[in-house]
Amino acid sequence: MRKPVVGVIGNTHQIEQRFPVQIVGERNLRAIAEVAGALPMMFAGTPDVTDIAALLDVVDGVVLTGARANVHPTRFGCEPDPRHEPYDLCRDEVALGVSQACIARGVPLFGICRGLQEMNVAFGGTLHPEIRELDGRMNHRAPRLDNGEFHPDPLVVFADRHDVKLVPGGAFATLLGCETIRVNSLHGQGIEEPGKRIIVEGVAEDGTIEAIRIAEAPGFALGVQWHAEYDPQTNPINRKLFQAFGTAAAEHARAR
């Protein structure tokens, strides 16, 4: 039997500020191949290239990865602000459509960081561009040096930084076998108001939403705010998430 195929959304990028390309972080691809046991297949986050219906005829699951760009505020009824750039309007259109289509067709969907935010917006939720500006919230952004530059050591950048309390008896607590986990944190934007079908399953110690599922989804439909793709080969929490997603993708492939 063939491996399940998992679509991985691309991000708009420019080489030398003039050559447009689509990129996907290699850790996402390795997590899918090495832990989920699937074949990763990048698809373009470009609406005039990507036919969502045709894509879902081919893949057995979809991963919405993290990305530097924020979801554009007009997608949830707010005005854009240059302080919160960059944006990736092309990816927004594809990701929101893919989120809705995956749930409608029962295609397993796993959202990571920006992917969780996209899932929320796709179902009518809102985001805050800088969670750290809300009262009582911590700075969830990646660690920086005293001079303001990003910390050069990935072991520091992706280190576990805060706890997440999981809903007892929920999908995450059942899957992970515990009600408290510790995760990394590399985001500025985050969920402000959950969408209509968004079930909050995990919350950081400062109240930031960290884990969600889509209500009444016929298949795997989970999102996490942390970067689970960084270390699922060695991190037992992230390994269980990717393994469960891979199992769901394999079941979807068998059902074809």
Query: Which amino acid belongs to residue 142?
Result: A
All structural domains of the chain: 5-255 (3.40.50.880)
Contacts of 68 (CB under 8 A, 6+ apart): 11, 86
Say whether 151 is catalytic.
no
Find the catalytic residue in 128, 201, 229, 252: 229
pTM (2 d.p.): 0.93
- Give me the residues of the chain with pLDDT under 70, please: 1, 156-157
What would the pLDDT profile of 230-253 be if each residue is shown by its tens digit?
999 999 999 999 999 999 999 999
Answer whether 253's CB lies under 8 Å from 2's CB: yes
Active site residue 178: no
Evaluate whether 176 touches 166 at the Cβ level (below 8 Å).
yes
Q: Which residues contact 228 (CB under 8 A, 6 or more apart)?
A: 31, 112, 237, 238, 241, 242
Q: Which of 113, 118, 210, 252 is catalytic?
A: 113
Looking at 128, 140, 187, 227, which residue is catalytic?
227
pLDDT the model gives residue 160: 84
Q: What is the pLDDT of residue 256?
A: 80
Instruction: Write down the pLDDT at residue 132.
Output: 75
The pLDDT of residue 98? 98
Active site residue 113: yes
Using DSSP's 3-state secondary structure scheme, residue 122 falls into helix
Q: What is the pLDDT of residue 17?
A: 85
- The pLDDT value given to residue 224: 98
Question: Any idea which residue has 């990048």 for tokens?
Answer: 42
